[in-house]
Amino acid sequence: MPDSNGGAASAPEPCAHGSGHACVPHRHDGISAAIDPSALISARGLCVARHGRELLIDVDLDIHEREIVTLIGPNGAGKTTLVRVLLGLERPDSGVVHRRRDLKIGYVPQRFDSDDVIPMTVERFLMLGGSYGARRIGEILEHVDAAKVRGQQLGQLSGGELQRVVLARALLRNPNLLVLDEPVQGVDYSGEADLYNLIARLRDEAGFGVLLVSHDLHIVMARSDRVVCLNRHVCCSGLPEAVAQHPSYGRLFGAEAARAFALYRHDHDHSHDLSGMPTAAGDGAPARGDD
Amino acid sequence: MLEPFLLRALIASLGLAVVAAPLGCFVVWQRMAYFGETVAQAGLIGVALGLALQMDVTWGVLIVALAVAALLVWFGRQKLVALDSILGLLHHAALAAGVIATSMIRGAPVDLTGFLFGDVFAVTRSDVAIILIGGALVLAAVAWLWQPLLRLAVHEELAAAEGVDREKVRTVFIVLLAVTIAVAMKIVGILLVMAFLVVPAVAARPLAGTPERMVVLTGLAAAVSVVSGLWLSAMIDSPGGPSIVLLMSVLAGISLSWAAFGRPGRRQG
């Protein structure tokens, strides 16, 4: 394998260079590491193959309360597949997913194709996730900056409005885990940072865990407690800074991404002071991963 | 005073109109019209089954409708051929098999027209009872599952991630659809059953702002069509079921024209 400048971002390649990741059919729990019962979701040894292609290879992942975990990886890295397995929408070929008994998921899917075929106002749509008072719906819509669309039909909303309404539905459920699959698609650029700041703020208030899927590197990193870098298997994971310095991260996203990341860290120092986010614990801990 | 046969026809059709309204809406929302069509046409095999076993054909239609629905769900698990292609194949096959099967019934030749287009003025007291009791059960089940059904129809994966058991709810819905088809068969016939469900829902969609309102409007459109269709049928001696469906279609045509002309602009960004 040639080193870092291989343009890996455009051509995803597994970054397992003999690192021991493999899918063993019918792997027993005794072999895989124990699940973490305190985690909201704890997955061990996930393997998914479709049409003879391995989409996920031996993936372990834990998400705890109050933790923002960002899942990054190039297109085709299996990010959405992993999310679907964690949510129980798809069964893994092997491996286990343990969901804590009190787990309550708020989900914002990658694409929400609103469908004019069903007449549906925003308010009625929000009521589908549970039953809430009119006042609470108003508050949440205010939170996500979508108060003015309350009486509109779903089919009349723009992509960004729709995304915020779906987020509102997820938040209304009082989840202890919020799962967002590429939440900024269809949101204009200035809306991205706002959305992430909002999610981080709500996390601070409500204390839910967050699983965020993205291929957008620099903004995503800003609020993450942990970054998991996926390319069919977990290439590396850890604190944002540590992941960015990890060799397999550079291989996966190329030098371009590494620069973007450096830029982000600069931004983060500024926003950090304003928002009063706590410093990430365990400074300087190296990322776990290949090599 | 109405003739008894006319009164029975009216009660049976109005009962069916009410029962069909929520199911018709879900069929439209979930784009299952063709699915229902295939299940309904397979009902002709059920007619043959019922005649051969000398039981009420409603049961034969119900059994075969459920079997075909299960087959379709099973076929849907593979992703190499789209479901609408399978439906295109199967609904002709089912009709052909049904015609052949009924032709092989011994005894007096079977009059297919009554099964294909229904014979609303021939419904008996027991038919009316079946429609009212079966209809009440279907309505109760729909009311009970209303919220999860709606959540799945709006966005299946979102609902499933939030904890809706999609396999269970889907299965119950398909069973309800099969029951409705079997019950409605005597009134509008195998070929027009799905029209009875789908067309009033189409007529209601442009006028509705919420799903519940659409169901109510669907029921109203169906009821208006039933009354005027039966009246038309009595006036010009046209077949009952087709007259009802034709009037439903006129309503749907007006409603769609209004939607197409009146609100051309939609969806920003």
Q: What is the per-residue pLDDT across A97-117, written as a single tens digit (0 to 9) for each?
A: 998 888 899 998 877 776 788
- Does A245 lie in the same domain as A182? yes
Asked whether residue A7 is assigned to any structural domain, the reply reads no
- Does A182 lie in the same domain as A56? yes
Asked whether residue A196 is assigned to any structural domain, the reply reads yes
Say whether residue B133 is in contact with chain A using an 8 A CB cutoff. no
Orientation of helix B43-52 relative to helix B83-103, angle to 10°: 30
- Does A192 lie in the same domain as A267? yes
pLDDT for position B200: 97
Single out the residue of B173, B176, B239 nearest to residue B13, CA to CA. B239
Chain Cα centroid distance, residue B168 = 21
Asked whether residue A34 is assigned to any structural domain, the reply reads no
Residue where a domain terminates, one of A134, A158, A174: A174
Residue with tokens 């979508």: A146
pLDDT for position B266: 47
Cα separation, A41 vs A57, in Å, equals 18
- Does A136 lie in the same domain as A63? no
Asked whether residue A13 is assigned to any structural domain, the reply reads no
User: A interface mutation test: which of B155, B207, B213 has the most A CBs within 10 A?
Assistant: B155
Residue where a domain terminates, one of A125, A141, A174: A174
- Does A237 lie in the same domain as A223? yes
Residue with tokens 């079946």: B130
Cα separation, B256 vs A5, in Å, equals 58
pTM for the complete prediction? 0.82
- In CATH terms, B4-190 corresponds, of 3.30.70.260, 1.10.10.10, 2.30.29.30, 1.10.3470.10, to 1.10.3470.10
- Any idea where the domains of chain B sit in the sequence? 4-190
Smallest Cβ–Cβ distance between A87 and the set B29, B161, B213 belongs to B161
Count of structural domains, chain A: 2
- Does A151 lie in the same domain as A99? no
pLDDT for position A198: 80
Cα separation, A277 vs A201, in Å, equals 9
The region of weakest confidence among A15-19, A221-225, B138-142 is: A15-19
Asked whether residue A92 is assigned to any structural domain, the reply reads yes
Indicate yes or no: CB of A88 within 8 angstroms of CB of B150.
no
- Does A262 lie in the same domain as A134? no
CB A84 within 8 A of CB A61: no
- Does A189 lie in the same domain as A147? no
| CB-CB neighbors (< 8 A) of B33 in chain A | none
ipTM of the complex: 0.82
pLDDT for position B133: 92
pLDDT for position B73: 85
Owning domain of residue A272: 41-104+176-280
- Does A238 lie in the same domain as A197? yes
Residue with tokens 């602009």: B265
- Does A139 lie in the same domain as A59? no
Asked whether residue A15 is assigned to any structural domain, the reply reads no
pLDDT for position A16: 45
Cβ of A288: how many Cβ atoms within 10 Å? 13
Asked whether residue A87 is assigned to any structural domain, the reply reads yes
Tell me what percent of the residues of chain A surpass a pLDDT of 70: 69
pLDDT for position A226: 87
Single out the residue of B28, B34, B17 nearest to residue B247, CA to CA. B17
- Does A196 lie in the same domain as A61? yes
| CB-CB neighbors (< 8 A) of A105 in chain B | 161-163
| CB-CB neighbors (< 8 A) of B160 in chain A | 87-89
Cβ of A40: how many Cβ atoms within 10 Å? 25
- The neighbouring-strand residues paired with A105 are A177
Query: SS3 sequence, chain A?
Result: CCCCCCCCCCCCCCCCCCCCCCCCCCCCCCCCCCCCCCCCEEEEEEEEEECCEEEEEEEEEEECCCCEEEEECCCCCCHHHHHHHHHCCCCCCEEEEEECCCCCEEEECCCCCCCCCCCCEHHHHHHCCCCCCHHHHHHHHHHCCCHHHCCCEHHHCCHHHHHHHHHHHHHHCCCCEEEEECCCCCCCHHHHHHHHHHHHHHHHHHCCEEEEEECCHHHHHCCCCEEEEEECEEEEEECHHHHHHCHHHHHHHHHHHHHHHHHHHHHHHHHHHHHCCCCCCCCCCCCEECC
pLDDT one-digit tens code per residue, A224-244: 888 888 888 888 887 777 777
Q: H-helix or E-strand containing B182?
A: helix B166-188
Asked whether residue A10 is assigned to any structural domain, the reply reads no
Chain A: closest CA distance from residue B58 (Å):
32
- What is the maximum span of chain B, computed from C-alpha positions, in angstroms? 65
Indicate yes or no: CB of B211 within 8 angstroms of CB of A179.
no
Indicate yes or no: CB of B153 within 8 angstroms of CB of A118.
yes
Residue where a domain terminates, one of A141, A174, A207: A174
pLDDT, one tens digit for every residue, chain B (269 residues): 678 888 999 999 999 999 999 999 999 999 899 999 999 999 999 988 888 888 888 889 999 999 998 888 888 888 788 888 888 888 889 989 988 988 888 776 777 888 888 888 888 898 899 899 999 999 999 999 999 999 999 998 899 998 899 889 989 999 999 999 998 888 889 999 999 999 999 999 999 999 999 999 999 999 999 999 999 998 999 999 999 999 999 999 999 999 888 765 444 33
- Does A243 lie in the same domain as A144? no
Indicate yes or no: CB of A89 within 8 angstroms of CB of B28.
no
